[in-house]
Amino acid sequence: MVAHTTGSARTSAVHHSAVQYKGRDIRGIRPRLTTANTMLGSSFGPRSSVTSDGTMELVVATPAAAPELWDRYVDGAWSSYSRHGVTRALDIDEVASGATTTLFYVVLDSSGDMLGGVRAQGPYTLIEQSHVLVEWENSPGLDVVAGQLRTRLPYGIVEMKSAWVGKGSPGREVSALLARTALPTIELTGSRYLFASAADHVLRQWESSGGRIDVDVPAAAYPSEQYRTRLMWWDRETFSREAQPAVWEDMVRDAHALCGPLESSAVA
């Protein structure tokens, strides 16, 4: 089990264990753009919340604060994306460096095995930091996506990236638990908007947490013509009403464990 502790020393976001990944030297990797500073620093976590039935644990941390968990998360993401033949969408060098990751979450079972994870980027300072512009660059709707990012940028936008569920894991349950990270991410980053891009069937599962697929944006053929990627938004001002009531109760409980006291409009 992971202790409910936080660190205080500020360390580099790129930790030593990310220097070599699968035999590739990534010390020279430089993120496209850096993200805005948050109240978290680089040494937040790990903190955890156990599901009501005690079968799974949701853990949040920064890469620098939990390097061993981060390495396991990156390995799991690489394995999952490789298994589905979509490693192009992962951008493994940048991900493994940890430099563009504000927070990451992992799901552990009662034995400590990792079942899945997701990471957060942001709050962004420029819309060009978002990977969705790459995803829609050859598909209809790019102008709409860019306009939405630009309009919401002043209020704080955070992108959820690199979600994965391990082979043999209880996929629907793990995916539902990862969807519940919306509230703690908004709380910890002080942002109003959260967004993610994924296949339609994945996002439909995440609607339980109050996110809504953007019907104004056509599906993108990304990472290949075989896929249809959609865009989903969560809004701090509305997603408590959009979420399923039972899921929202779990989200608030998780957020108390992961963030501490909640005083924002998201839980009003």
> 16-260: which CATH architecture?
3-Layer(aba) Sandwich (3.40)
Backbone CA torsion sign across 86, 189, 21, 71: negative
- Give the Å distances, CA to CA, from 38 to 6, 114, 164: 15, 27, 25
pLDDT (tens digit per residue) in 73-119? 999 999 888 887 777 777 788 888 899 999 999 999 999 999 999 99
pLDDT (tens digit per residue) in 185-220? 999 999 999 999 988 888 888 999 999 999 999 999
Where are the chain's structural domains? 16-260
pTM of the model: 0.84
Alpha-carbon distance of 189 to 196, in angstroms, equals 16
Residues forming beta bridges with residue 118, ordered by sequence position = 105
240, 188, 143, 126 alpha-carbon torsion, rounded to 10°: 160
DSSP, collapsed to helix, strand or coil, labels residue 124 as coil
| Helix axis angle, 245-259 to 182-189, nearest 10° | 40
pLDDT (tens digit per residue) in 33-80? 445 445 577 789 899 999 989 999 999 999 999 999 999 999 999 988
Alpha-carbon distance of 83 to 81, in angstroms, equals 5
